[in-house]
Structure formats: C-alpha cells, structure tokens
A and B are shown apart, each in its own frame.
Chain A
Amino acid sequence: MSRNLFIYTLYAVAMAILQATLMPHLALLHAPVDLQAILLAFLAVMIGRNGAMGFGFLGGMVAGLLSGEMGLQMLAGTLAGFVAGWFHIPEGSHATPVQKARKFIEATAAACLVASVVMLLGNNPLGLSPAWRLLVIAPLSTLLTLLPAFVASRFFIGSAFSD
C-alpha cells in the first residue's frame, strides 16, 4: 500500500510539472489537456474519494508552485478529486473492466470540467469574457482531456482495471 502511495505521489508530482510546463504550449484555443484530471480520475476509481482529494491537493500545490497560482490550483485539484470520487468503485466490486474504464472516463470528464471551471473563475490572465471561458474553453479542455484518457484506459491502465 505504501509503495503504491509512493508511486502515486511520484505520478502526481510528474503530472503537475507536465501540466504547468508542457501543456500550456500544446493548448488549443487556450484550452489545454488536463493530465492531472486523468490521474485524479484513475485514483478516484481505484482508491476512492479521499485519496483523490489528497493527491489533487498535492498536485495542485506542485502545479501552483510552478504557475504562481498555488492556492487556486490546490482548490481546483481538491474539488476535482472530490467530484471524481463519485465514480469510485469499491473493493470487492463485481464491476467488469469495461465498466471500470467507463467510470474512469466519466470521472475524468467530471474532474476536468470542475478543475477547468474553478481555474477559469479564479484566474483569467487573457482577459477573456467569463461566458466564453465557461462555455467554450472548459468544455473544449474537457473534450481534449478525454482523448488521452480514452487512450490511457485502452492501452496503459487497462491492466489495473482488470485486476
């Protein structure tokens, strides 16, 4: 368990660094892919809401340290982990890997949407209108995030769901 926690912590820090440094360069219409939301969704499905919130908090702290919006990033990560926790599959569940993958995708969408909304409401460096940010950038960011989440569910973390 502690080994898993250590690995998850490493993943959370790595994703936060990538999110704060690489992803802004790959943004489409100012909407970046949310790698942290993908990780939080996986953690929420696998270990539950509290773990997802904790790692969301940690990842937000690291990403915020790099981006200069630490408090806002921490809050966004915490809320994203909390919302993704609704899609937790308890241990001993008879859910199939396909159902787990579906839950993972749903959790990703929810986490990304919540994190995007929180970040857009709290930080608007480009001076875009709130309606534009909420109606275009947040959904677009969520859609963009679902693509790598789907790929990850098929090729990378499918084995975790089948255990």
Chain B
Amino acid sequence: MFILPVSRFRRPAADGGKILNLRKYLCRANVGALPFREPRTSGQSALFAVKQFINFLFRHNAWMLLALLSALSLLVMKLEREEVPQKLLEGGLAFRAGLAEQFGQIAWRLGLSEENGRLMRLNATLLSQLLQRESELRQQQQLKALLADPAADADGYVVARVVERTFSDRENILIINAGKLAGVRQGMSVLTPRGLVGRVVAVSNQYARVMPVIHTDFKVGVTSSKSGSMGVMSWNGGNEERAFIEHIPQSSPLEVGEVMATSGVSTFAVEGIPVGTVVDIQPDRLFSRVEIRLAVEFSSLGHVLVAPLQRESEVLRLLMREEPDKEQ
C-alpha cells in the first residue's frame, strides 16, 4: 500500500465527497502511518516527501486555495490590459451599459410624474405667453382695420381701446381709454368697422364709459338696408349675440337675412352704422317680433371708434322743443 492509485483519489467519497474527507480516506488507506516510519530506501523517501506535501496541502487547504485564487486574480489584473482580455472586458462593459440603460429608463419612468408636472408648468407659461402675443396681434389687426376704415379718416373720429369690460346677462359696461381730452363727449356713438358698439354715457378726462348695444337700457333706431323697414333695436338680456327690433309692422316686407343699420332718427348714432342681420321674424299682436344677430362680437372687442355728434344740435333741440332762433 505504498503507492496509492490515482483513481482512488478521484473516487467519490462515500461520505459526501468533501475534500476534507479525502484525508480520512488516506488514513483508512494506511498512508497516514508512513511518516512515522523511518524511510529506508530512496523510493520510500520520495513517497514520504509526497505524503508530507499532501498532508501540508490538506492541513492548509484554505490558505492554498486562497493563494491560488489570489494568484489567478493578480494574473488577471496583469493580463487584463492585453488584447484578448480587453476585448472580453469591452464586451462585458457593453452588456453592462445595456443593462444600465434599461435601469436608467426605469428610473426615468419612475420620475416621470415630476417631469410631467414640470412640463405642465412650462406649458402653462408658454401658453400664457402665446395668448398674450395673439392678443397683441389681434389688437394690432383691429387697429389696422380701424385705421383703414374710411370713417376713421373723417374729422372728429377718435380711436380708442377698450380697457375694461363688465359683462353680465343684463347690464354690460365698457370703459375706453379716450375721454374729454381726446374730444369724446357724452352721447357719442361707438363703433367698429363691423358695426355699432354702443354710446358714450359718461366721460372723464382720460376715459369714457360706454353703454353697449347689449345693455337692457340701450335703444337705437334702425332701418333695413334693403326694404327700408324701420324699428327700434333693443336687447332683452341673455345671449350677447342676439337682439330684437320692435315696432316693425306686420305688413313690412322685411325678410330674413337683411342687414339692419342705424337710421337717421337716432338721437346719437351716425346714420348707416350696421347693427345686425335679421335671423328670425315672428308675427305678434300689432307688430312683428324680429330677431337679429348683432354685427359686433363683444367677446373679442379691442379697439373702437368714437363717432362725433354731428346731428346733435338739429335733433336734440327739436326733441327739447326749443326755438330754432335760439340755437345760434
């Protein structure tokens, strides 16, 4: 039993195949008794040295394994700058980068709600800026349209901007930034190129208050551009796009679609200012009940024109029953 077959070392141990159990196996194989005998021949000496080495390995197997693995690690550290390991490492880095990108996307999705909130705030800011720019552009276009209107060139017309508006379902008020210093006076008509807006009811030095068409106290004489039918326009509240014309006889040839404009019997308005378009005619007791769509869109009112009171002295004095001789 001096030479232990190699196959017996490789044989799985009966008690689990653990490395430490090989030592027991060697002891059972009576190899362990050898070192205690004095080597007599050169062969016995060699076997003794091998056995001593094996015993040393098994006694310090953990340290040996540590040394082996550490040496391998150090060798890899030295060799990993070489070409082949470098390519291997590059492949590993690419794999890791791919995984890291996936993890990064997950983290990005987790933080998406915060990003959404930031974008929403940014959207709100940009939207407000855009609306402001659009509003300014619209005002400029309105101003250009006013200046291009032939009426604006006439003497006494004042261009003003609506600076304040109070809308309700019955009483609406506009404030324009032109007052006494600009030549605006109480009773002047206010209009846009589209049609009649209202009349000035109060004036300060810098501003004027305008009672718009969509006010329940507002009334103005109107006439049809086609059939010549005359009536009085008023607004009953509610829809800001619709108004009614009273005192239209049922015999009137007025038809749907005709444009109604201010008439010459108005005490304040210049004749011929469009007011609206007839959209419905219903017979009533004595007169027809005519509904019109107003010409002016009050929701987008920007700049307006204030027309002069050209007929003031003529009409008002007649209404006030004054003598013509005392006018002068």
Partner of A75, one of B70, B93, B104: B70
Q: A56: nearest residue on chain B (CB-CB)? A: B69
Tell me if A82 is interfacial: C-beta within 8 Å of chain B.
yes
User: Shortest Cβ distance from B140 into chain A, in angstroms?
Assistant: 53
User: Shortest Cβ distance from A107 into chain B, in angstroms?
Assistant: 15
> B19: which A residues are within 8 A, CB to CB?
50
- Evaluate contact between A74 and B76: CB separation under 8 angstroms: yes
User: Shortest Cβ distance from B104 into chain A, in angstroms?
Assistant: 8
User: Shortest Cβ distance from B107 into chain A, in angstroms?
Assistant: 7
- Evaluate contact between A21 and B103: CB separation under 8 angstroms: yes
> B77: which A residues are within 8 A, CB to CB?
70-72, 75
- Evaluate contact between B16 and A1: CB separation under 8 angstroms: yes
- Evaluate contact between B93 and A68: CB separation under 8 angstroms: yes
Tell me if A79 is interfacial: C-beta within 8 Å of chain B.
yes
> B61: which A residues are within 8 A, CB to CB?
50
- Evaluate contact between B62 and A49: CB separation under 8 angstroms: yes
> A72: which B residues are within 8 A, CB to CB?
73, 77
> Which of B19, B78, B99, B104 has the most chain A CB atoms inside 10 A of its CB?
B99
- Evaluate contact between A53 and B92: CB separation under 8 angstroms: no
Interface residues on B, range: 20 to 34
Mask, A41-85, CB within 8 Å of B = 1, is 000000001100110010011001111101110110011001001
User: Shortest Cβ distance from A68 into chain B, in angstroms?
Assistant: 5
Tell me if A112 is interfacial: C-beta within 8 Å of chain B.
no
- Evaluate contact between A53 and B62: CB separation under 8 angstroms: yes
Partner of B65, one of A53, A66, A67, A75: A53
Interface residues of A (CB under 8 A from B): 1, 17, 20-22, 24-25, 49-50, 53-54, 57, 60-61, 64-68, 70-72, 74-75, 78-79, 82, 85
Q: List 28 A-B contacts (CB under 8 A).
A: A20-B96, A21-B96, A21-B100, A22-B99, A25-B103, A50-B19, A53-B62, A53-B65, A54-B65, A64-B76, A64-B89, A66-B92, A66-B99, A67-B93, A67-B96, A68-B92, A70-B80, A71-B75, A71-B77, A71-B79, A71-B80, A74-B69, A74-B72, A75-B70, A75-B74, A79-B66, A82-B62, A82-B66
